[in-house]
Amino acid sequence: MHVILPFSSDSVLREPQDCLEEMATLCHFSGLLLRVVEKRIVRVRRPTAYALIGKGHLSSLRDLVEREKLSVLCLDADISSLQQRNLERELSCRVIDRVGLILEIFALNAKSQEGRLQVSRAECEWQRSRLVQAWQHLERQRGGRGFLSGPGERQIEIDRRLLDKRSRILDERIKKLKRNRDTQRRFRRSCHLIALTGYTNSGKSTLFNRLLSLPLSMRQDTRKQPFLTLDTKIKRLRAGVGPGHRTLLLADTVGFIMNLPHFLFESFTATLEEVVHADTILHVRDIAAANSGEQKHEVLRVLKSLGCRGRIIEVWNKIDALSEKSRISTLASSSGCEAHALSALTGEGCAGLQALFSSFE
């Protein structure tokens, strides 16, 4: 369910139907074995502190849950722990918001040690933000000895302390891996790093495999699934020949998506540093997507917030998915704005991009 809130910048920039379809995709690939029964857009005139939506929408959703016997409601909105608890009480089903769903996908796709640590760190930060008002029904749990010992800690204080302790442990382990990555980066100072970045499912990994001509056993997974690539993969694209010629390295990085909270970016700082230090950034766009312009705006906003200093070159991917008329128009307009239109799947147009790499050596 996509919720349209008043005075929301997201409701102005994006079409509600696109948001709804994206949320349905996240549900499908969340690993929770969810089957989308109904997709609904709800316009809220006045958000409530109790459950975000009003009594009328609550009554309608309650009828839907009872009629379809639903067990999960996925909400395309950011809700508090109190709102989530009230919604679950009113609807008698589990409620998952957008951030919780994305974290489920991150945990499912994290394969390396660094990726799992970063996902665990993000989950700690998310859980800590949801402790507020979660334990108001419990009194203080335990106190010390003696007449002046005090009443002890509340359950929320115990949970917050345990989460803080786990966060510190995870931070130390991530810092250790970051130092190893910094050491590796020092050995690559003489190389030219090209980073593939863009919206999730824009075809970065497919282009990575195409440009490197990797054997089947070494290729990146290219299934159409959001956040399938969580760990940065760096391979040598072309070796420098002779003096003055630099070795070219190609990096495949994690994709972006709309409305990601800031703590997720902070948790994945170690991975995103490769984009920050890249000499050239290839912004891969799914030019066949209906909201390709909105995706571009979000990616550029994130790159700016990260402080990326490299040259940004647009790559318009998936021209094979366009109609013949749209394809001709796209190829004509790409030459006017210095973008590279290609299909990473079929290889069409990739020769022009590879020729550009010769100027980087």
Reduce the secondary structure of 104-142 to three states and give it as a string.
Answer: HHHHHHCCCHHHHHHHHHHHHHHHHHCCCCCCCCCCCCE
Highest-confidence segment of 62-66, 183-187, 229-233: 62-66
For 105-158, the pLDDT digits (tens) are 888 888 888 888 988 998 888 888 777 555 454 445 455 554 444 555 677 777
pLDDT at 8: 57
Query: Average pLDDT, stretch 345-359?
Result: 89
pLDDT band at 80 (very low <50, low <70, confident <90, very high): confident
d(CA 158, CA 55): 35
For 13-30, the pLDDT digits (tens) are 678 888 888 899 889 888
Domain ranges of the chain: 2-104, 112-137+149-187, 189-360
Whether the CB-CB separation of 19 and 59 falls below 8 Å is answered with no
pLDDT at 216: 83
Q: Does residue 85 carry a pLDDT above 50? A: yes
For residue 230, give the 3-state DSSP assignment: coil
For 316-339, the pLDDT digits (tens) are 999 999 998 898 888 888 877 889
pLDDT at 11: 47
pLDDT at 287: 94
User: Where is 312: in which H helix or E strand?
Assistant: strand 311-317
- Mean pLDDT rounded to a whole number for the chain: 84
pLDDT at 219: 86
Query: Please, which residues bridge with residue 60 across strands?
Result: none
CATH of domain 2-104: 3.40.50.11060
Count, residues in the chain = 361
d(CA 360, CA 191): 10
pLDDT at 333: 87
pLDDT band at 7 (very low <50, low <70, confident <90, very high): low
d(CA 50, CA 53): 8
Cβ count within 10 A of residue 215: 8
Alpha carbons within 13 angstroms on the beta-carbon side of residue 270 total 28
pLDDT at 240: 65
Whether the CB-CB separation of 234 and 221 falls below 8 Å is answered with no
Whether the CB-CB separation of 28 and 34 falls below 8 Å is answered with yes
d(CA 173, CA 270): 11
Residue 343's nearest CA partner among 316, 312, 313 is 316
Alpha carbons within 13 angstroms on the beta-carbon side of residue 337 total 13
- CA distances from residue 245 to 187, 192, 200, 213 in whole angstroms, order as listed: 16, 10, 33, 21
For 36-71, the pLDDT digits (tens) are 888 999 888 888 999 999 999 999 999 999 999 989
d(CA 92, CA 89): 5
Q: Does residue 277 carry a pLDDT above 50? A: yes
Query: Average pLDDT, stretch 211-222?
Result: 85
Residue 247 DSSP label: P
Highest-confidence segment of 32-46, 130-144, 198-212, 224-238: 198-212
Which class in CATH covers the domain with range 189-360? Answer: alpha beta
Could you check whether 2-104 and 189-360 share the same CATH topology? yes
Report how far apart the first and last C-alpha atoms of the chain are (Å, whole number): 49
Higher pLDDT, 212 or 135: 212
Strands of 340-341's sheet in order across? 233-238, 248-252, 192-198, 280-286, 311-317, 340-341
pLDDT band at 241 (very low <50, low <70, confident <90, very high): low
Could you give the residue ranges of the DSSP H alpha helices within the chain?
A: 9-13, 16-28, 55-68, 81-91, 98-109, 113-129, 155-187, 204-212, 262-267, 269-276, 292-306, 324-336, 350-357
- What percent of the chain clears pLDDT 70, i.e. is strictly above it? 89
d(CA 298, CA 354): 27
Cβ count within 10 A of residue 67: 10
pLDDT at 148: 47
Query: Please, which residues bridge with residue 282 across strands?
Result: 196, 313
